[in-house]
């Protein structure tokens, strides 16, 4: 069986497992609502949520598109910025001394403290949400790649010296390929947390997006709409993570993931 078939089977099995997990959670949710009968504004049943999802599909689909654009652009920009930062830190002593503290400090501040400033600087449009998503994604990518570059196999470095490679050539042709599995791990984390920045930015100030819909519905105690928005957000994250997994398995084909059966 070819490696492409193995990757496709792994992707499909992972998708089926996630789908089965969602169905089990929906069944448990429906059972709890049937047993305890909470007020609809406290916990609506899945049937009511899917009914709201169907009735408000046009509006929810429109706002989902806004959030998806913010997430994808934030993922692209955060990944690019993280990769450049890791390369600079591992290439220049000056960058290692001055950029690393800034990178760590950027994660010490709560996202809710930064979000109002970004809205003030970039406005209520897409800019502030993309900036927030970029900040959220930036650290796991930069940190993972930096760790992978620093832990490159010493034999590879010795081989580069044997061929009289310059430090930059050693970084690009030897250390960076060896660090790709670490970068893949960082990207998988980034794909999972990517919506956080966009949603937080929409909560602070926005005129569209799933975060805006959820915030407005929560203020009106329209809990079914809140759950409909959350459901679309979960589906969005699962699909995005699955696509990232599939792309990374093809990109980092020399370091396949292994499945352990217990």
Sequence-distant (6+) residues with CB within 8 A of 128 are 115, 118, 119, 121, 122, 201, 204, 205
Superfamily of domain 45-251: MetI-like (1.10.3720.10)
**Which carries the bigger pLDDT value, residue 114 or residue 34?**
34
DSSP 41: T
What average pLDDT does the structure give for the chain? 81
Computed over its alpha carbons, how large is the radius of gyration of the chain?
22
**Which carries the bigger pLDDT value, residue 187 or residue 175?**
187
Structure tokens at 10: 């792994």
CA 9 to chain centre: 23
CA distance 126 to 209: 10
Q: Any idea which residue has 């290692």 for tokens?
A: 96
Q: pTM for the full model?
A: 0.80
Is the pLDDT confidence value at 99 over 60? Answer: yes
Q: Where are the beta strands (DSSP E) in the chain?
A: none
Q: Are 186 and 144 in contact (CB under 8 A)?
A: yes
Q: Domain boundaries in the chain?
A: 45-251
Give the chain's length.
Answer: 262
């Amino acid at each position: 069986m070819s490696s492409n078939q193995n990757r496709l089977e792994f992707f499909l099995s992972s998708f089926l497992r996630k789908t089965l997990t969602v169905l089990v959670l929906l069944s448990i949710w429906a059972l709890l609502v049937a047993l305890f009968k909470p007020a609809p504004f406290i916990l609506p049943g899945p049937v009511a949520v899917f009914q709201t999802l169907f009735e408000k599909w046009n509006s929810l689909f429109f706002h989902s598109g806004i959030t998806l654009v913010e997430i994808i652009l934030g993922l692209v920009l955060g990944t690019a910025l993280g990769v450049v930062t890791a390369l600079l830190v591992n290439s220049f002593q000056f960058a290692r001394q001055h950029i690393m503290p800034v990178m760590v400090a950027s994660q010490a501040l709560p996202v809710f403290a930064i979000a109002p400033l970004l809205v003030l600087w970039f406005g209520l449009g897409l800019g502030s949400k993309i900036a927030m998503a970029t900040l959220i994604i930036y650290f796991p990518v930069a940190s993972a790649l930096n760790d992978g570059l620093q832990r490159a196999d010493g034999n590879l470095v010795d081989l580069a010296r044997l061929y009289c490679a310059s430090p930059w050539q050693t970084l690009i042709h030897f250390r960076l390929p060896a660090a790709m599995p670490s970068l893949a791990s960082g990207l998988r984390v980034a794909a999972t947390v990517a919506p956080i920045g966009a949603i937080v930015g929409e909560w602070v100030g926005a005129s569209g997006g799933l975060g805006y819909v959820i915030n407005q519905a929560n203020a009106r105690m329209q809990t079914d709409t809140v759950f409909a928005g959350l459901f679309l957000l979960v589906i969005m994250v699962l699909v995005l993570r699955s696509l990232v997994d599939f792309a990374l398995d093809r990109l980092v084909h020399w370091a396949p993931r292994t499945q352990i059966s217990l």
